[in-house]
A = this chain, B = another copy of it.
Amino acid sequence: MYALNEQDYIQQLSIDCVIFGYREKQLNVLIPKLKFMGNFWALPGGFVHQNESIDQAARRILEERTGLKDIYLEQFRVFGAAERTNSRLLQQLIERNGETGENGQFNLNELAWITRRFVSIGYYALVDMNKVVPQKSTIDESIEWYDCKLLPTLIMDHNEMIVSALDTLQLNLDQKLIGFNLLPETFTMKEVQELYEAIFDKPLARNNFQKKILDLNVLERLDKKFTGAANKAPYLYRFLK
């Protein structure tokens, strides 16, 4: 982990990332578990350098955790309750990593700024899970994909952040056609429907859905792949840029 010098960062402002991935009809979130803390999970996050934009900071944080550069990401909300930061918990996190961590570079005096009140900008990202190699930071015990419907209890307001990110994803899905960032290059109509059903967590009527999606005029239908199984093969589609 890079040094966290107070003067390099905007104070009391953080970024937290809800990284969504989709696989086998299931919407997942990438969540690290904290080291030395018992059962504490926290969203991947970080701070904003004085000389970088907030979007650059979010991209940097996401690249550190996923290895990917070109990720679809978007702000969804700022979390700014006056009492949202659990300073005591953050203090313990610094102390325990300073005592026990193999790097041993955490020093409570130098890192006192991290335990102050923070206003946090929530970003959500949509990734192709097959391309991601999740990366632990030095304060993480593990980092795993969790089913959106079976989340662990995260620190502070991080569970609320995931709910809010999912709300925004649902609201934006049709207007901004961002769902296709979760799918591979080509896909069947059934796969698009399964994605929508996972995101909205409810079944959708096939005929209505197909009409609705085709009416968006954003899909290109590819030639049917000849499989030998005659007309049983479904059409493949691709997202028009």
Cβ of A231 within 8 Å of any chain B Cβ, yes or no, is: no
A149-182 interface (Cβ within 8 A of B): 171-172, 175
* In-complex Cβ contact of A48 among B11, B119, B172 (8 A): B119
Q: A75 at interface (Cβ–Cβ under 8 A)?
A: yes
**What is the bound-complex CA distance between A12 and B121, given in angstroms?**
14
A23 adjacent to chain B (CB < 8 Å): no
Write the nearest CB–CB distance from A56 to chain B, whole angstroms: 8
Within the assembled complex, what's the spacing in Å between the Cα atoms of A75 and B55? 17
Task: Let me know if B10 and A119 touch, CB within 8 A.
Answer: yes
A207 at the interface (CB under 8 A from B): no
- Any chain B CB within 8 A of the CB of A136? no
Identical copies in the complex: 2
Chain A 41-79, CB-CB to B under 8 Å as 1, else 0, gives 000000010111111100000000000000000010110
Q: List 25 A-B contacts (CB under 8 A).
A: A10-B11, A10-B117, A11-B11, A11-B12, A12-B13, A13-B13, A13-B119, A48-B80, A48-B119, A50-B82, A50-B117, A51-B82, A52-B82, A53-B80, A53-B81, A53-B82, A54-B78, A54-B119, A55-B80, A75-B78, A78-B121, A80-B121, A171-B171, A171-B172, A171-B175
The interface residues of chain B lying within 8 Å CB-to-CB of A56 are 82
Count of chain A residues with a beta carbon within 8 Å of a chain B beta carbon: 24
Nearest chain-B residue to A83 (Cβ)? B53
A50's closest neighbor in chain B, by CB?
B117
With a CB–CB cut-off of 8 A, which chain B residues contact A51? 82
Inter-chain contacts of A55 with B (CB < 8 A): 80
Q: Could you say which residues of chain B place their CB within 8 Å of the CB of A81?
A: 53
In the complex, what residue of chain B is closest to A74 when comparing beta carbons? B77
Q: Within the assembled complex, what's the spacing in Å between the Cα atoms of A57 and B77?
A: 16
Inter-chain contacts of A13 with B (CB < 8 A): 10, 12-13, 119
A124 to chain B, nearest CB (A): 14
> How far does the Cβ of A160 sit from chain B's closest Cβ, in whole Å?
14
Near B by CB (< 8 A), chain A positions 171-213 give: 171-172, 175
Alpha-carbon distance between A54 and B121 when the two chains are bound, in angstroms = 12
Q: In chain A between 88 and 136, which residues have their CB closer than 8 angstroms to a CB of chain B?
A: 117, 119, 121
